C-alpha cells in the first residue's frame, strides 16, 4: 500500500465544494480544509506510486477550481 498526501490550492470560495469532490475520488481516504499555504490536504491510500499519480495528476487536478497541487509520498 502507498500512502500519499496531496496539497491542494483552490480558487477563492471553492474549498467546501472541492473537499466533497475530492473525497469522492477512489483512493482518497480523507480530505481536510486547512489554514496555511494550501487550502486542502487529501490523504491517498492506493496500491502503487502510479496510482498516486493517477489520483493527483488526473483526478484532483482536473476538478474545476483547483489551482495547483503538490504530492508527498509517505516513506514509512
Question: pLDDT tens digits for 6-64?
Answer: 999 999 899 999 999 999 999 999 999 999 999 999 999 999 999 999 999 999 999 99
pLDDT (0 to 100) of residue 58? 94
pLDDT at residue 71 tops 90: yes
pLDDT at 23: 98
Task: Give every CB contact of residue 70 below 8 A, 6+ residues apart in sequence.
Answer: 6, 7, 38
| Whether the Cβ atoms of residue 7 and residue 73 lie closer than 8 Å to each other | no
pLDDT of 12? 85
**pLDDT score recorded for residue 17:** 96
Amino acid at each position: 500500500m502507498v500512502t500519499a498526501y496531496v496539497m491542494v490550492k483552490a480558487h477563492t470560495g471553492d474549498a467546501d465544494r472541492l473537499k466533497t469532490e475530492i473525497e469522492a475520488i477512489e483512493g482518497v481516504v480523507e480530505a481536510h480544509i486547512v489554514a496555511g499555504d494550501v487550502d486542502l490536504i487529501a490523504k491517498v491510500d492506493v496500491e502503487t506510486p502510479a496510482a498516486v499519480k493517477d489520483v493527483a495528476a488526473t483526478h484532483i487536478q482536473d476538478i474545476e477550481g483547483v489551482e495547483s497541487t503538490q504530492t508527498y509520498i509517505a516513506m514509512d
